[in-house]
Each structure stands twice: as C-alpha cells, then as structure tokens.
Structure 1
Amino acid sequence: IAKMYLLFCSINSIYCRVYVHRICRQYWDNTALCNQISEFTPFYDKCNKPGSLPSSSAKIYTLQAVHLQRNIVPKSSCLLLETLALIRSQHSKSVLIRLFVSPDDKNSNQYKIIKLRPTCQVTHNYLFIYFLSVAETSFHTKHSYYCFCFVFKSNYLLLFFLFFFQFNWLGFVRAVIDTELHPDMKIASLEQVIVRAPQYFKDLFKLLNTTETRTVANYVLWRSVFSRITTLKNTLIYATGRLFVDTHFQEDKKHMMEELINGIRWAFIYMLEKENDWMDKETKRKSTEKAHAVLAKVGYPDLILNDIYINEDIKRLSFSETDYFGNVMQTLKFIAQSDIGWLRKTVPRTEWFTNPTTVNAFYSSSTNQIRFPAGELQKPFFWGLDYPRSLSYGAIGELTHGFDDNGRKYAKDGNLDQWWRNSSITRFTEKTQCMIDQYNRYYWKEAGLNVKGKRTLAENIADNGGMRESFRAYRRWIEKREIRSRGVCCNAYRPEAARHQIQSGAHSPPKYRVIMAMSNYEEFHKAFNCPETSILNRGTKSCRVW
C-alpha cells in the first residue's frame, strides 16, 4: 500500500477487505442473492475493471460547477450556509459544523434530538496540507484547536439562533434534510437540539469573521474533497455485511464470545462488590444493576439475514454499469440522508449502527451496549475454539467503558443522568487523576512527546479495568494460567505517525497500554516475580479505578 499518508494498517482490516473483494467476485453471477444485494455488484465491478473509469477531469469539473465552487462565500454567509448544507445533505460530509440525528441523551428511547457539534478534523494527511495555502492551513489549525472541550447543552433551535445569530440555524437544518426522501420531516423553530461545545461555535464565528472569505471558501471545498468513500464495505454496510457473514463467520464464535462476555460481566460485578472500597452503597448498587443491564451484541444484527429488510433498506439505489461517478454520488446522498429518517422515531434495541465487517469493538453509552462485529471476531483479535481460552479472555475490555469518565454519566437505561452520589464522584475524580498523572509522566521517544493522560483517560481506565476483569474471569474458568493481553498492541511507528497518535489519538501509545496496565496490576507482579525496581511493578504507586 503506497499512500504516503497511511499511518499503519491493521492486518485484520486487510483480511476483511480481501474477503469483501472475494465475495463480490464470487457472487457477481449468483442469482440466489436477494434482489437489492445483487444490484450493487455493478458499482463494485465498474470500479475494479481496468480502464473502465471515465476521464476524471471532466467529472471533477462537473462536480465543481454543479456542487462546489471556489470562493463560495464572497460577501454573504448565505452562500456559506447553502454550501455547508449541500455538502452534508448530498455528499455525506460535515465541514465546520457536524449535524446528525441520534437518541436523546436524557431519553435514550427516542430519536427526537438533532445534535450540533464540532467536526474536529485534525488531519495528518500531507497531501491535504500540500494543496492548501499557508492561510488555509492556518485556518485549519485554528479551527481544530477549538474542538476539544465538550459541554452538554440542550435547547431549541430558536434559542440557539438567538445565541449565535450570525448563522441561520433553522435554515441550515432545513436545507440538510432532503424533502423528497422525507416529505413529512418539517423542522420548526421549536425543534429540540443538543449542542456539544457551545464555546466552539462562538469561537468559530469569531474566526470566520476575521478570516479572508477566499480562505474559508477554499478550506470548505478541500475539506469536502479530502474525505470520500474508499470502499464498498464502508457505504452499504448491511448488504456487504450480509455477504461477509454468510461466507466468513462461524456461529460457534458467536456462542463462545457470549460466554466470555458473561465471564467478564461476572468479574466486574465481583470486583465492584468485593474489592471496591471507595464507592458508596447506593451508587455501587446502581452500578451493579447497570453492569447486569449491559446488552451484548455479537457478530451481526439478525435482520441482515432477512432479504425483505435488505431490499427495503437500499431499494432507492440503482447502480449503472457505465456511470461510476453517478454511482458514487447517489451512494453519498444515500448515506447523508440515512440518519435523518430516524428523527422522532423510537430507538430500536435491535439496531446496531455498526458494519459487521468492522474490525473494532464498541461500547455505546446511550444504549448501554457492547458490540463485537463479525470483523472483530477474526484472528488475531479473536482465536475461537482453536486456541486456549486465555487468548480470547485477555482481549476483551469494552464493558469497562460503561464506567469510564464518560460512560459513568449514563444510567443503565442509557439516559444521561447524575445517578452517582457526590461522594463517589469525588473519589472517582481522585482515582482518575492518579491515572492521568501516571500516564503524563511517560515520554514516548518515537514521538518526542509525553503521553497525554487526560486525552486518553477513558481508554486507560478500560485497559486497566479490563486487565483485572479478564484475569479474574479466566481464573474462574480454569486454574491454569496462560497470559495473553495486548498482543494486538505490537506496532511499529514512524516519528510522524507517533506524534499524530499523541496529539489526536484516544488511546495511549500501544507500548504504554501494555506497560501501564501490567505495572498497576498486583497479580501480574506475583505471576512473573517482578522485583520492586521493575518498570512492570509500580507497587504502592499503582493507580486503580476499577
């Protein structure tokens, strides 16, 4: 892979891409496929046939003429509004302002809230920087700076407009929603919104007002062009996920993972009830209830096996065997409008919002769910029944995210609520500050920078807590010890990639994810006879939250 901006590639991600490629070739002439899945094969086939793509210059000029034009805000913010709305509604790209529909934080059963938040696009891509002028690069840097202090604010569009009158928010939201696809979606001034980081928008308009309009225009244009669809699996997630599951996923992995999750759940509750000495009884009781209530989703949503659902999901798409550009544009629009249709509807607990081919695991605060897609349940992340159980126990830590610095704010039903007593919040803050300070002290030579303990706190809590849960769950399952933890954290970094990881990554550097979690765990010290002088034995200086 010869793209200069590529930081690293997950072996599993490559495997999944190869699998999807093989599947699409294998099923090209398969008449047994449900109707709509067979419809997207021309999209894939057109992209992969040598010499079949049209001359790019003509299509780019068409895109520029019809959709995006340089200097789009010569004197008026109206054109900026129209352009940002068009990019979001037709191209599935958020620039400066991110608008999306999601469950109400305080009533997670309903999609009735539109969220407005920063886009926070801190890029490491040298190609992108190369095409920007000094002024546009400076604007990008300043814009990115305002993205990291989040504050929860629920309000109506009308009141938001009064606070930030420089921008027609009602007009923007209305322009994003495609009325042809959603004819009944009428947005009024009393539509509820959640605003993340109100200070960001205050600073954003200050920055826009002091920046040359040509610079803003060119920045908006390049941000849109910069991030486009790269693979079929990232767009039609249920259709490609269905093919992946049919071909490359074994049901015994699903059953085994469910067993492992139950073991991890037991271990967390055991430690909470037997070892936790800083949480008050009422908060501890509610935390136990939340741990019991965590819904585990493994492999894939059952609905993707339903041909009727798949057909309905993508019935508006019709791909051409000759017009690849048109295929891309209609797919972008499909993605851009896909979440809008959920507005004001009930949140289905069966919904995944995750591609089955994804190589990652997730915790969702608003639904109190942990998700392990089929793509994650492949070697080397998940070994199944072919290898010792320890290899799988040591790689599961998502449940702890329900009790990290963000997840702890959500109750068992997924609603944002202060369900902790103040005394426990104070002790939690003290515990997490110990961890922040501990990680801050580590200097990563490859990056030439110290680890950022505050930025990576949530993942550090999960790493340390997950280590303890995995060990205890495995000891319960079998007495024989076989240690496997963080095998997936073996990486090599270039200095540029290392600096980017420090500056914008949610995780600590892989090296220190291993060292810190192990050095804080007394059972590891005992098992391997680590002396008190060892870097892997912090002794009385250890930090522990869970």
Structure 2
Amino acid sequence: MISRHWDEKEYNWVDAYIYTDTKVKHIQPFFEHNVRHNWFDRKPYLGIRSPSKSFFGGYFSSESHKKSEESKLREKIKARVRRLRTDLSDDQLDSDIDDIIRLENEMMDLSLKGRNKFGYYEDSCITLAKMRAEYPNVPWLKILKTVFKTVDIDIDENQQVATYNPFYLKKIGELLTNQTKRTLANYIGWKIIYKFGAKAIYEFQKQDVDEFDDDDTLKKLCYATTEKVFHDAIKFLYMKKYLTDEGIDDLYGFLSQLKTSLNYSLQQADWMDNETRSKAQFKLEKMVGNLGLPDNIYTIEELDKAFEPTGWISSENYVNAYRKMMEFHGKNKLRLLRQKSERRSLTTVNAFYAPYANRMALMIGILQPPMYYHKAPLAANFGGIASIIGHEITHGFDDSGSQYDFKGERNNWWDEDTLRIYKEKIQCFIDQYSNVTEPVTGKRLNGKMTVGDNVADNGGLRLAFDAYKEYARTKHPEKNFKLPFEMSDFTTEQLFFISVANLYCHNYYNETISALLSYDSHSPNSVRVNVPMQNSENFAKAFNCKPGSPMNPENKCVLW
C-alpha cells in the first residue's frame, strides 16, 4: 500500500510471517502459536489456533454493526497509510483496503464455522507430520522450526501440537493460497501498523485516544503497556506496598474456611457413595491456593536477575525499548516448551483454577476494593474476594474439573451411580440457564456453553456464605460489623449478598452483550447475580423473599 513500485516476484508470505513473529513484536498473522500446559498430564505443549482477535476487536452482532465497523476500519487504514506517504492513487489504495477487509472477514467466517453446536471450538492433539497431511498449504514445520530456533529449541515432525479450531486450520491454507501476493503483503503490513504503529508515531497514538473521546485513555494505554512489559517488576512493587501481613493472613484464613465449608458440603452430600466422597475430599485437601504471591521474586536482587537478559534499556528510544521488551517476553514464552512450570502475570485483575495442577490462584490486581479491603467488614470481604475464591475452588468439581484427580491427571474417579446423579444435577443448571432470557438483548442464554462457570458461580456463593457465618462466629466476631450511614439499614447477611452483586456492576453496550452471549463461557453479569441468588435459601431468608416469588422459586439447582 505504500509504493506503486512494489515487486511481488520475491515475496513469500511464509517468510514474512516468520519475520513479523521473530523480529516485530511477535506478531502472528493468519494463525497464532503459543505454549501452554496440558490439562491431561501437566506437561507443556505447543498449541496452534485461529487468531484470538480481529482488526474489528470482536465479532459482529448485526449486519449494521458490521458495516459500521468496516467503515471505521477503512478510514483508519487510509489515514495511516496516507500518513506514511504512500504514492498510490486513491483507486488503488481503496482496492487494497477492500482486499484487506475482505480477507479479514473471510478469516472471521472460517473461525466462526469452526464452532460446534454448543459454541465451543473443537481441539485435537496431533504431530506436525500429521498436521502437514491434514492441514495442507501451510509449511507448519518450517515456520515453527525457524521460530523456536531463536531460543535454541529444535522442533521436528514428531512434535505434538494441540490444534484449537481444527476446521479453521484446515481451511486457512486454502484461503491464503487463493489470495494475491499483494493482498497478503498488505494484510501483514497493516497487521504491523495496527499492532505497532501507535508505539512509533504520535499521530497514530492520538487517533487511538481520540476514538474513545476520553482524556484518561492515553494514560490508561500507557499504564497497560507498562504493565505488559514490566509485569514482574510491578507485581513485586505492588506486593511490597499493598500486601500487608494482616491482609495475607486474612486471605489464607478465608481460603482455609472455604475449603472447610466445601468439605462439610461433601460430607452432607447423601447422593455420593463413600469412596467417591473420600476421593473428592482428598482432592480438596491437596488443592493448592496461590493468593497473589509471586512464584519466584521475593527480593530486589531476584528482580534484577529476572530482567538481566534484556541488558541496558535506554529511555531515549521508546520504540526500540518496547521491541526489546517484547522480544524478551516472546522468547520466554517459547522457552516454556522445555520447562516444567507455567507462570502468569500476577498483576492481572483475574482469578483462575488450573485443573492440570489442582491449583487455584488470584492475581495481585484482584486484591483491592471492591473485592477486598483489610479494614472492611467480614460480610463485605466474604461477599467479595471469598466468593471469588469459592468460585475457583468449585471449578475443581464442575463439569470439567471433576474429570481430574487430586494430582491434576485426567482420571475417572467417580462411582457410576454417583456420576449419573452428578450429571443430573449439572443438567439442572444447563436447563435452568437455557431458559433465562437476557433482558437487554432479549436473547436466550446457552446453558451448555456456560455451565462450568454457572456451577462455579452458584458454588462460590454458597461456600462463601457458609464460610462467612462460621468464620465470623469462631475466628473474628469483632470484624463482623455493619457499614455506617445509609448502609447501616442492612443486616450483615444482606451486606454479604450486596457485596457479591457489587462485583458485577458494569456497563456494556448492547452490541457487546450480544457478542458475549455468542462466545463467552460466563453468563451476563445480571444473570451471574440473580440466578445464583435465586438458588440460595440463605438469600431468600436474608431478604425475606416469599416462597414462589421471583427471587425464591420453588425449584432450585444445587450441586454443592
């Protein structure tokens, strides 16, 4: 798009892909590869998938939404290419942009077609040799071998690869083969500008900020970039400043009480046989909880050692500094393929359960209001952070986590009759949520797609409430106080449920809600509040909901 004198004779999209991946911010057009840890045996694996994000930022909720986003993208490409002083005519530039957008739409269509009837992408594990035969027209081995050579890892055709969205990967080679070299070159070129341009050219950065019409956006973008490239340093400083000894003691106390509550629920589950119950309790006992503490950095000396491979980073050249840091992190991710343990950025505002390790963890960023404040009433903290911890613990026993044993190995440890009843209870949640209509869009929920997190939402709520009552009674009754002023009208039990609901107070555009209903494993926020509380006898008691009323229905779904 830059020059009308471009010669396509020597151009090869494979070489261009490798260059952008290894030399330019680890940009991976057309398909993405990464290193993860296998849920089956906890070993690292090489994964290949369809692109995780499009130029449009997501999928379209309607035809009008599609046209609107295409128009915005077309103007953005044209403005930025003109800023780079292209000598193309308007007609040629428009034609090039049309081809980029067409290819992007075709790739998005392929990605969507790869979903099954429940909205999931299928996955499979095969060798690169088999991948070459089944997913033609892409030299997978050449690409991966060259990329991993940068960290001295040898890849051969016997390398196992987890393919996520195989339908897309089978078709992408054919799609690329049918494109002109000019289209492929322009697509990759725009991918670089899209990902890297705002870091190098102020006008591009300003355009990104102006799109949001928000004075704080530039500051937020800078914060996000800093967190991305220096996350270990930030988590270290954050930990030193905000994680007090009292706060750490609180969190581990909450975790212990939550596990005690689930253990009691397992004891009371009369539908379970004794052997399966014992195995579930043993798995719970062995579950590891990592509450925001870095795995490997405890001193400033260890922090310096972690960043030592980057060498000197000059503050005078932002672009080179950014590229250097992205190369550093990109190579660290590649090295995971021959390492035993997985690391995650602990500054992220998130929590997760890893079934392959029987481990749950909270990122440091989540340890702040409204999730947690060490001086807040117990009801607020249990409704906040403890319900989140309970959610993650419950994932160890949801429809997916229940397939893994105490060591994190995939293993059927269930008695046949107990498993049958368990599946009936899971089906109750699937049916219940499938009958819920999202109020803004009027669309029905996909209860099958969201069942794992729905079970965790319900389990987390029940565990947190039971743990709260026992913890307040036996451990710290002095912390079980009400909030002042207008909030003093609410009981501590009511404050617990209000604190849970407060976690999900967010504003979304209608288009965003519609898109999330199509692919998010979580139910919409309003549903994540209302349905678990409808299933809670304790909520009905706390707010005096009459039997048969909307928030106290006769039929409730309960697992743990």
- Please, what TM-score do these two structures have when normalized by structure 2? 0.75
Aligned pair in 2 of structure 1 residues 308, 319: CA closer, same or farther (>3 Å)? same
Question: Which of 447, 463, 466 does residue 469 from structure 1 map onto?
Answer: 463
Please tell me the residue identity of whatever aligns with 1:118. Answer: S
Q: Is the 8 A contact 1:448 1:499 kept in 2?
A: no
Deviates most, 492-501 or 233-242: 492-501
Question: Which of 357, 370, 373 does residue 380 from structure 1 map onto?
Answer: 370
Deviates most, 256-265 or 87-96: 87-96
* Long gaps (5+) in structure 1: 1-60
Distance in 2 between the 1:419 and 1:171 partners?
42
Q: Deviations over 1:244-279 (max 9, x none)?
A: 2223332321111011011111111211221252x4
Distance in 1 between the 2:186 and 2:283 partners?
48
- State whether structure 2 residue 168 is matched by structure 1 residue 200: yes
The equivalent residue for 2:488 is none
Please tell me the residue identity of whatever aligns with 1:314. Answer: F
The equivalent residue for 2:558 is 544
Question: Which of 50, 74, 77 does residue 118 from structure 1 map onto?
Answer: 50
- State whether structure 2 residue 394 is matched by structure 1 residue 400: yes
Distance in 1 between the 2:195 and 2:520 partners?
19
Aligned pair in 2 of structure 1 residues 204, 426: CA closer, same or farther (>3 Å)? farther
3-state SS of paired residue (1:194): strand
Please tell me the residue identity of whatever aligns with 1:309. Answer: E
- State whether structure 2 residue 311 is matched by structure 1 residue 340: no
Q: Deviations over 1:217-256 (max 9, x none)?
A: 5445445544568421112211122122223332321111
Distance in 2 between the 1:403 and 1:222 partners?
44
Distance in 2 between the 1:451 and 1:328 partners?
42
The equivalent residue for 1:139 is 106
- State whether structure 2 residue 439 is matched by structure 1 residue 505: no
The equivalent residue for 1:88 is 21
The equivalent residue for 2:83 is none
3-state SS of paired residue (1:532): coil
The alpha carbon displacement at 1:338 in A equals 1.0
Please tell me the residue identity of whatever aligns with 1:545. Answer: L
Q: Deviations over 1:74-116 (max 9, x none)?
A: 799x9333333333334234443332223343322x43x3222
Distance in 2 between the 1:227 and 1:452 partners?
33
Q: Is the 8 A contact 1:241 1:304 kept in 2?
A: no
Distance in 2 between the 1:158 and 1:145 partners?
26
The alpha carbon displacement at 1:519 in A equals 0.4
RMSD: 3.1
3-state SS of paired residue (1:116): strand
Of all paired residues, the percent bearing the same amino acid is: 24
- State whether structure 2 residue 537 is matched by structure 1 residue 522: yes
The alpha carbon displacement at 1:446 in A equals 2.4
- State whether structure 2 residue 156 is matched by structure 1 residue 188: yes
**Aligned pairs (5 A) from 1:332-481:** 332-347=326-341, 353-384=343-374, 386-395=375-384, 396=387, 397-479=391-473, 481=492
The equivalent residue for 1:154 is 125
3-state SS of paired residue (1:432): helix
Aligned pair in 2 of structure 1 residues 416, 146: CA closer, same or farther (>3 Å)? farther
Aligned pair in 2 of structure 1 residues 514, 71: CA closer, same or farther (>3 Å)? farther
Aligned pair in 2 of structure 1 residues 431, 232: CA closer, same or farther (>3 Å)? same
The equivalent residue for 1:58 is none
Aligned pair in 2 of structure 1 residues 295, 71: CA closer, same or farther (>3 Å)? farther
* Long gaps (5+) in structure 2: 60-68, 78-96, 200-223, 474-479, 481-491
The alpha carbon displacement at 1:358 in A equals 1.8
Deviates most, 529-538 or 497-506: 497-506
The alpha carbon displacement at 1:438 in A equals 1.9
Please tell me the residue identity of whatever aligns with 1:391. Answer: A
Distance in 2 between the 1:203 and 1:408 partners?
34
Q: Is the 8 A contact 2:548 2:554 kept in 1?
A: no
Aligned pair in 2 of structure 1 residues 505, 142: CA closer, same or farther (>3 Å)? same
3-state SS of paired residue (1:296): strand
Q: Which structure has the bigger radius of gyration? A: 2
Distance in 2 between the 1:129 and 1:537 partners?
51
3-state SS of paired residue (1:304): coil
**Aligned pairs (5 A) from 1:201-350:** 201-209=169-177, 215=183, 217-223=185-191, 225-227=193-195, 230-275=224-269, 277=271, 279-301=272-294, 303-317=296-310, 318-347=312-341
3-state SS of paired residue (1:489): coil
Aligned pair in 2 of structure 1 residues 245, 449: CA closer, same or farther (>3 Å)? same
3-state SS of paired residue (1:449): coil
The alpha carbon displacement at 1:145 in A equals 0.3
- Please, what TM-score do these two structures have when normalized by structure 1? 0.77
3-state SS of paired residue (1:231): helix
The alpha carbon displacement at 1:212 in A equals 6.0
Distance in 2 between the 1:235 and 1:276 partners?
51
3-state SS of paired residue (2:257): helix
Q: Deviations over 1:375-404 (max 9, x none)?
A: 2111111122x1221212223221111222
Q: Is the 8 A contact 1:71 1:217 kept in 2?
A: no
Please tell me the residue identity of whatever aligns with 2:329. Answer: I
